[in-house]
Chains A and B, each alone.
Chain A
């Protein structure tokens, strides 16, 4: 799974080429063409209907990856804004002797304007080179998904897929609070796990050391998961801590017991005073 869309959230060039997502180099040399960087078999086909030349084929079943009939594609760009996954780009490697253009969906404010100098970024969002905006298309058919076209040096045309957002300070490198965090063995004892009952990492480590080997066992000893949110926030972390301590994978730790109601309701609802 190294270097894949599942690991990183964006695809690698090798992954795309292996899945035949790139048109042939001969087709690139004939002019603008769509690059459909769609890798996951999900039920989705707006791109098929967006192409008036019949160049995109999804067919049956609807989870098929869209196949580009590269000889039919004119590079018109109608499919770019239609892709809900923002995964379609128009690449024109014939724009000039030294430059290529990349068209991509750009759902951010402020929009750039034609002629503006921008920083071109790759699939990971890292700055690759300087670029110039050649077109900003936001017609009604785009349905609020503007398509921006930028000119960049030709050698980066397989890498560049967007531009750095304007008027936004770049994220700090060490800013990791939004990552999909569960638990790290180096976490300090006073870190809160169960926010409702104020149960810390140390409390749960102690419970596990005392023999708790299920989420329910930890709950009985510490009250983690017994507060207002009913374990919605902490049970994943508790599960990971038990799995780590027992050297098991997370799916071997049984889920905690879920009982109705599925969302917090006042007692008066259960007593029949009002409808849910």
Chain B
């Protein structure tokens, strides 16, 4: 689900897509969207699992404060996906999945 029409910003004109992989699965997502938003649009709600109890976590604050949505992006862990835009060929992994 993307917002395609907005009362203030108007209609979305950007239809460019980029290719990313999430846990090895290829996805085409809207260029410029945040990783977490692109994943939500594809039904992916779990970004990481907690260290102590291995519980799933997803977007909580959505503004880069809480670090609940961190994932491994291009090999770097702890990337806040709600404030990091997708880029072509980005490799994204669920953090602490196993």
Chain B: CB-nearest residue to A228: B67
Q: Give the residues in chain A near B10, CB-CB below 8 Å.
A: 144
Instruction: Determine, out of B13-21, B24-32, B33-41, B58-66, the stretch whose residues face the partner at the interface.
Output: B58-66
A232 within 8 A of B: yes
Number of interface residues of B (CB under 8 A): 22
Q: Which residue of B lies closest to A234 (CB)?
A: B66
Q: Mark B54-97, 1 if CB is under 8 A from A, else 0.
A: 01010011001111101000001010100000000000000000
Closest to B7 in A: A107
**Other-chain contact of A233, B7, B55, B61, B70 (Cβ < 8 Å):** B61
CB-CB contacts below 8 Å: A194-249 with B? 195-198, 227-229, 232-233
Q: Decide if the interface of chain A is mainly helix, strand, loop or mixed.
A: loop
Q: Which residues of B contact A263 (CB under 8 A)?
A: 64
Query: With A and B bound together, what is the CA distance between A227 and B80 in angstroms?
Result: 14
Interface presence of B1 (CB below 8 A): no
Select from chain B the residue with minimum beta-carbon distance to A106. Answer: B7
Q: In the complex, which residue of chain A has the Cβ closest to the Cβ of B66?
A: A233
Residues from chain A with a CB closer than 8 A to the CB of B65 are 229, 232-233
A108 interface residue per 8 A CB criterion: yes
User: Is B42 engaged at the interface, CB distance under 8 Å to the other chain?
Assistant: no
A264 within 8 A of B: yes
Q: Which residues from B are CB-within-8-Å of A195? A: 57, 60, 66-68
| Bound-complex Cα distance A157 to B4 (A) | 36
Q: Give bound CA distance, A196 to B55, whole Å.
A: 11
Task: Give the Cβ gap from A226 to chain B, nearest Cβ, in Å.
Answer: 12
Query: Provided the pairs A233-B61, A264-B80 are in contact, do residues A196 and B67 lie with their beta carbons within 8 angstroms?
Result: yes
Whether, in the assembled complex, B5 has its beta carbon less than 8 Å from a beta carbon of chain A, the answer is yes
Interchain nearest-CB distance for B68 vs A (Å): 5
Chain B residues lying within 8 Å of A108, measured Cβ to Cβ, are 7
Binary contact readout A105-140 vs B (1 if CB under 8 angstroms, 0 otherwise) = 001110000000000000000000000000000000
**What 3 A-B pairs have minimum CB-CB distances, sorted nearest first?**
A228-B67, A229-B67, A233-B66
Given contacts A198-B53, A228-B78, 20 further A-B contacts (CB under 8 A): A109-B6, A144-B8, A144-B10, A145-B8, A146-B7, A195-B60, A195-B68, A196-B66, A196-B67, A196-B68, A197-B52, A198-B52, A227-B67, A232-B65, A232-B66, A233-B61, A233-B66, A263-B64, A264-B78, A266-B76
14 of the cross-chain contacts (CB-CB < 8 Å) are A109-B6, A144-B7, A144-B8, A145-B8, A195-B60, A195-B67, A196-B66, A198-B50, A198-B51, A198-B55, A227-B67, A228-B78, A229-B65, A233-B66
